[in-house]
Amino acid sequence: MQTSTKKTVFFLVISLIAVCIAAILSVFLGSTDISWQTVLSALFSPDLSDHQQIAILELRLPRTIGDLLVGAGLAGAGAMMQGMTRNPLADSGLLGINAGASFGLAICLAFLSNVSFGLTIIVSFIGAAISVFLVFGLLMMKRRKLDASRLVLAGLAVSMFLTALTQGISILTNTGQSLTFWSAGGTAGIRMDQLKIAAPVMIVALVCGILLSRQVSLLSLGDEAAQGLGLNLNRSKLFCLLVVLVLAGTSTALAGPVSFVGLLVPHIVSRFVGSRYEAIIPASMVCGSLLMVLADLVARTLNAPSETPVGLIFALIGVPAFIIISRKEGDNEA
Amino acid sequence: MNETVTQEAQNSLSSNPETSTPYAMQGIQLKIGYSQKTIIPEMSVRIPRGAITSIIGPNGCGKSTLLKGLARIIPVQSGTVLLEGKPMKDMPTKMIARQLALLPQGPEAPAGLSVRELVSFGRYPYQKGFGTLSKKDREIVEEAMRATRTDMLADRAVDQLSGGQRQRAWIAMALAQDTPIILLDEPTTYLDMAHQLEILELLQRLNREKKKTIALVIHDLNLAARFSDYLIAMKDGEILHEGTAEQIMTPSVLRDVFSLDALVEQDPWTNKPTMISYRLLKDENQSK
């Protein structure tokens, strides 16, 4: 117990240091060469007539903060979903959040021309929320119980329904191209005014996620065992799902459907910190940030000045990793 | 239980609910089921304190449902569950978890969780806030592992253990809850005969040495008769018979409850009634 707590703390400290280094690198490195003196003066005594300094403040800094938040949000939400549903292959996509956010964005692109970025993320978030409530509605219709296998089916049904609507809207209104750009996933488009809305919400949700982590641990023992230990099952699950909605919904609204972060990161960190979600959830948040910042750094420097979609990079790492994980799970069963 | 005991229980209950009823738990006119399907229409049941009570009955008779109703896993649709004489409805679930531990049927721990971590969850009902284990908590966890002989497995992953070891680890978690009552839903199912015996001997030791009230759902009638002080025989959501092993392990009760034609003798080793052989009742079978 004590040794595993020590290990977790050690791991958290190391990864926090790594995140700080990666975040600093991410502000200093980009598709165009900007000297470190210019970066420093942009950060500490900005000169708004210098277009390089403006690029730092308006593009790289929000992008880096976005990477940190989105990575933490998706990985934290994924860890919570895996614990709650006792399904090692779960992530927030199961709740139809990606499809819902796409739907919201499609509506913005099609019907609300010239909307501000801030409004776009709010509408995308509402799309994600609608999807979660639809999934809930389907679940609650017959039995008033949140059961993991039914959640997967309901999530899939709602996702497919909303995806069909999204595609219909984008074909009819000819906005498919902008939607595709967003669907590739990435934090390149994040601006300060979006972060002003999203960052406080995300930070509150991240803290709530950490506070709920003990309850997620109990849920990971199964519903009956958790109840037997004195957990208020429906209340815990509801709180957890709300936090997942806010974390994943806001992240997806900001950065598009960045896949695999929520799925992979919790598995990677559990190798180091064990199987208790009190450790997995905070560690996933930190490592999610790290992975996202690093992947985004690769995305913008790999083929500079063109952007490589960060979704593509994750898919390239993610698909093989996904196969390895599912094979491992299979081995354990045998 | 006999009439006088029941009478006594009701008297003491009405006069002073705080003090001892002979029953650790009582269900009064319980209706239990899922939203559309009622499984137990009306049942009153008593779990004697300090005893091992086995709930037996054919598949689908509502044994597990009764246990889950008593353990507040399924909400009771009507009626009252009394825990040490007090209505459970009025108690916060975390307080109930300090008096009543539950071992669910076929529990599964997340991959990689160690035995000690699992057992530590038993301290949850006593923890506040973020919940770090106090020195006392840790001692109780170690003691629970010693009592179930899982201390040498403490750092092993629960999902990598054998069935019997895994079940002992879960019993250790229930034990770490430090409750006077432990309910177990089919703790011996899927175990081989030696491991079934091992689990029941463990429960018997906990009952005798730590004065735990134990109630379990079990399919093996001979083991139920051998280890239980009290048996509750259910069929179709009702209690048909209840009493000691000698009262329940009789050909007529087994005929009523299981539609079995059973040959019951005294086990020369344990002096408990035991089923030597059994067959299906032909007539009953055809009429169904």
For B73, the 3-state DSSP assignment is coil
Q: Is B22 a member of any domain?
A: yes
Enter the tokens of residue B96.
Answer: 């109930």
Q: Which residue in chain A is spatially nearest to B181 when comparing CA positions?
A: A228
Q: Is the dihedral of CA A116, A117, A118, A119 positive or negative?
A: positive
pLDDT digits (tens, 9 = 90+) for B138-189: 999 999 999 999 999 999 999 999 999 999 999 999 999 999 999 999 999 9
Average pLDDT over chain B, rounded to an integer: 90
Q: How confident is the model at residue B8 (pLDDT cuts 50, 70, 90)?
A: very low
Stretch B229-234: mean pLDDT, rounded?
97
Instruction: Using an 8 Å CB-CB cutoff, list residues of chain A that contact chain B.
Output: 1, 4, 83, 86, 88, 143-144, 211, 214, 217-218, 220-225, 227-232, 270, 274-276, 278, 329, 332
Q: How confident is the model at residue B20 (pLDDT cuts 50, 70, 90)?
A: low
Instruction: Answer whether 0.95 is exceeded by the pTM.
Output: no
Percent of chain A with pLDDT over 70: 93
Residues B55, B8, single domain; the answer is yes
Residues B36, B142, single domain; the answer is no
Residues B165, B227, single domain; the answer is no
Give A252: exposed, middle or buried? Use CB within 10 Å, 0-12, 13-18, 19+.
buried
Q: Is B278 a member of any domain?
A: no
d(CA A203, CA A198): 9
Q: Which of A223, A229, A232 sits opposite B121 (nearest CB)?
A: A229
pLDDT digits (tens, 9 = 90+) for A84-111: 988 888 888 888 888 898 899 888 888 8
Q: Do B95 and A88 count as a contact with CB atoms less than 8 A apart? A: no
pLDDT greater than 50 at residue A165: yes
Which residues from B are below 8 Å from A231, CB to CB? 93, 124
Contacts of A115 (CB under 8 A, 6+ apart): A108, A123
Q: How confident is the model at residue B6 (pLDDT cuts 50, 70, 90)?
A: very low
Q: Is A132 a member of any domain?
A: no
Q: Which residue in chain A is spatially nearest to B128 when comparing CA positions?
A: A214
Tell me the shortest Cα–Cα distance from B184 to chain A, in angstroms.
11
Total domains present in chain A: 1
Strands B181-185 and B238-243: unpaired
Residues B222, B169, single domain; the answer is no
d(CA B246, CA B75): 34
Q: Which residue in chain A is spatially nearest to B173 when comparing CA positions?
A: A229
Identify the residue with better confidence: B41 or A186.
B41
Query: Please, are residues A45 and A62 in contact by the beta-carbon 8 Å criterion?
Result: no
d(CA B251, CA B264): 7
In the sheet that B230-235 helps form, which strands lie side by side, from edge to edge?
A: B100-103, B181-185, B213-217, B52-56, B230-235, B238-243
ipTM associated with this complex: 0.88
Residues B186, B154, single domain; the answer is no
Residues B174, B239, single domain; the answer is no
Q: Which of A143, A211, A222 sits opposite B107 (nearest CB)?
A: A222
Residues B34, B63, single domain; the answer is yes
Q: Do B98 and A230 count as a contact with CB atoms less than 8 A apart? A: yes
Predicted local confidence at residue B284, as pLDDT: 52
Which residues from B are below 8 Å from A1, CB to CB? 116-117, 120, 133, 138, 141
Q: Is A227 a member of any domain?
A: yes
Please report, for the domain that includes residue A218, its CATH number: 1.10.3470.10
Q: Is A278 a member of any domain?
A: yes
Alpha helices (H) in A212-276, listed in sequence order: 213-219, 223-228, 233-255, 261-273
Q: Which of A4, A221, A228 sits opposite B101 (nearest CB)?
A: A228
Query: Please, are residues B14 and B191 in contact by the beta-carbon 8 Å criterion?
Result: no
Alpha helices (H) in B126-277, listed in sequence order: 135-147, 163-176, 193-209, 221-227, 245-248, 251-258
pLDDT digits (tens, 9 = 90+) for B76-111: 999 999 999 999 999 999 999 999 999 999 999 998
d(CA A242, CA A95): 11
Q: Do A4 and B117 count as a contact with CB atoms less than 8 A apart? A: yes
Predicted local confidence at residue B131, as pLDDT: 67
Residues B187, B233, single domain; the answer is yes
Tell me the shortest Cα–Cα distance from A229 to chain B, in angstroms.
5
Domain of residue A61: give its range: 2-90+190-333
Q: Which residue in chain B is spatially nearest to A333 when comparing CA positions?
A: B159
Q: Which of B93, B110, B138 sits opposite A1 (nearest CB)?
A: B138
Q: Do B107 and A225 count as a contact with CB atoms less than 8 A apart? A: yes
Residues B221, B169, single domain; the answer is no
Total domains present in chain B: 2
Q: Do A227 and B122 count as a contact with CB atoms less than 8 A apart? A: no
Identify the residue with better confidence: A231 or B284.
A231
Q: Which residue in chain B is spatially nearest to A232 when comparing CA positions?
A: B93
Predicted local confidence at residue A1, as pLDDT: 46
Predicted local confidence at residue A329, as pLDDT: 59
pLDDT greater than 70 at residue A291: yes
d(CA A267, CA A91): 11
Stretch B14-38: mean pLDDT, rounded?
78
Q: Does residue A305 have a cis peptide bond before it, meaning omega lies within 30 degrees of 0?
A: yes
d(CA B182, CA B103): 8
Q: Which residue in chain B is spatially nearest to A210 when comparing CA positions?
A: B130
pLDDT greater than 50 at residue A298: yes
pLDDT greater than 50 at residue A263: yes
Tokens 């299979």 locate to: A330
Residues B35, B136, single domain; the answer is no
Q: Is A162 a member of any domain?
A: no
For A15, the 3-state DSSP assignment is helix
Tell me the shortest Cα–Cα distance from B183 to chain A, in angstroms.
10
Q: Do A274 and B111 count as a contact with CB atoms less than 8 A apart? A: no
Q: How confident is the model at residue B5 (pLDDT cuts 50, 70, 90)?
A: very low
Stretch A172-185: mean pLDDT, rounded?
79
Residues B7, B90, single domain; the answer is yes
Predicted local confidence at residue B16, as pLDDT: 44
Residues B185, B245, single domain; the answer is yes
Counted across chains A and B, CB pairs separated by less than 8 A come out at 96
d(CA B140, CA B127): 13
Q: Which residue in chain B is spatially nearest to A2 when comparing CA positions?
A: B133
Domain of residue B36: give its range: 3-99+181-196+206-250
pLDDT digits (tens, 9 = 90+) for B52-68: 999 999 999 999 999 99
**Element holding A14 (H helix, E strand):** helix A2-28
Distance of CA B191 to CAs A328, B148, B167, Å? 26, 16, 9
Closest CA to B143 of B132, B151, B152, B135: B151
pLDDT digits (tens, 9 = 90+) for B185-231: 999 998 999 999 999 999 999 999 999 999 999 999 999 999 999 99
Q: Is A280 a member of any domain?
A: yes
Which residues from A are below 8 Å from B96, CB to CB? 230
Q: Is A319 a member of any domain?
A: yes
For A230, the 3-state DSSP assignment is coil
d(CA B167, CA B173): 10
d(CA A183, CA A105): 10
Predicted local confidence at residue A83, as pLDDT: 93
Q: Is B275 a member of any domain?
A: no
Q: Which of A211, A228, A278 sits opposite B97 (nearest CB)?
A: A228
Which residues from A are below 8 Å from B92, CB to CB? 230
Q: Do A276 and B72 count as a contact with CB atoms less than 8 A apart? A: no
pLDDT greater than 90 at residue B7: no
Q: Is A150 a member of any domain?
A: no
Tell me the shortest Cα–Cα distance from B163 to chain A, in angstroms.
14
Q: Is B255 a member of any domain?
A: no
pLDDT digits (tens, 9 = 90+) for A267-276: 889 888 999 9
8-state DSSP, A46: -
